[in-house]
Chains A and B, each alone.
Chain A
Amino acid sequence: MSSSLRPYLQCVRSTLTAAFCVQNFPCQQVERHNKPEVEYKNSKELLLNPVLICRSEQERCYIEASINSVRISIKVKQSDELDVILARKFTSFLEQRADAFRVMRRKPVEGYDISFLITNIHTEEMLKHKLVDFICQFMEDVDKEISELKLSVNTRGRAVAVEYFQGFC
C-alpha cells in the first residue's frame, strides 16, 4: 500500500539520522583492535536500544546502533512464492558484490533479507546524510526491482509457452 510507504521511509530516515552518531572506539577486550561493536555485542554500555520499524507483517526494518557502528536489516515484501525466490536471488546477487557497495553486509541478519553495516570509517569518508539517502532509496528501489523482475518472468514464461505450443497447433 503506497499510502504508508512515505511515512515508513520518513520514519526510517529520521531514525537513521539519529542513529548515525558514530565515532571511533577501540576494542575494550583486545588491545590495538578496532571492531564494530554492534556485531560483537561484548559490552552492553556501548549498545543503543535496537529499534524495529514495521510497515506491515511482511515489511520490516531493524536498526541496531552502537558507539562505532550501525546495522540496518531490511525485510522486503514478498507476497507469493515467486517473490520469495526472486528476492533471495536478487539479494544474494547484491551480497556477492558487497565489496563494491562497501556498506553492505555479506550475510543478512537472521530473519531479514539484506543487511547493511555502517561504521565510523564510512561516516568519516562519506557524507552521513547521503548514506541515509542511499539506504532509503535502496528500500524504495528494491521493491520496484522485484516487481519488475516478476513481470519480466511472467512475460517471458508466457512468450515461451506461446512459441512452444504453436508447434502443436
Chain B
Amino acid sequence: MTEFKRLLDHAPLDGSDGDKESHFGMMRETILRTKENEIDGIIKQLSPAQCDILMKYLYRGLAAADQKVCSVFLTWHERLTTAAGIGSIMRALTDKRTA
C-alpha cells in the first residue's frame, strides 16, 4: 500500500520517456503482485489526484497486448472507475502530462 502511494506520488509525468518507461515497469509489477481482494482497499485509500495518476498507468498497461496483464488491468480499471468516476477517465484522456 505504501509502495503504491510512493510510486504514484513520484510518478515522472513531466520526465523523459526512459524515466516514464522504468516507472511504468515498477508500477506494473506492483499492480500484478496485488491480490484481487486487496484492490478495493487500496483504491479507497488513494486521494483523487493519485486516482487520476493510477488511471493513466492503467491505460498505459491496457495498451500492452498480453492477455494475463490485460485481464488484471481491466479488473483494476472497473474498480477504479466505480470509485473515482468517469471524471478520472476524462482527466486521463485530456491531460498532456502522460504517465
Contact = CB atoms under 8 A, between A and B. Distances in A.
A55 B73 CA distance: 10
A162 interface: no
Given A11-B74, A11-B77, A48-B94, A54 B86 contact: no
B26 interface: no
B93 A49 contact: yes
B89 A55 contact: no
Contacts of B64: 54
B67 interface: yes
A8 B74 contact: yes
Interface string B10-43: 0000000000000000000000000000000000
Contact of A15 (B63, B89, B95, B98): B89
Nearest to A10: B78
Give the interface SS of chain B, mostly helix, strand, loop or mixed.
helix
A72 interface: no
Nearest to B70: A54
Interface string A102-121: 00000000000000000000
* Shortest 8 CB-CB contacts between residues of A and residues of B: A7-B74, A18-B89, A52-B63, A56-B67, A4-B71, A57-B65, A48-B93, A54-B65
A17 interface: yes
Question: Chain A interface mostly helix, strand, loop or mixed?
Answer: mixed
B80 to A, nearest CB: 10
Interface in B34-90: 59, 62-67, 70-71, 74-75, 77-78, 81, 86-87, 89-90
Contacts of B77: 7, 11, 14
Contacts of A52: 59, 62-63
A53 interface: yes
Contact of A4 (B59, B70, B86, B98): B70
A27 B78 CA distance: 36
B92 interface: yes
A112 to B, nearest CB: 13
A55 B59 contact: no
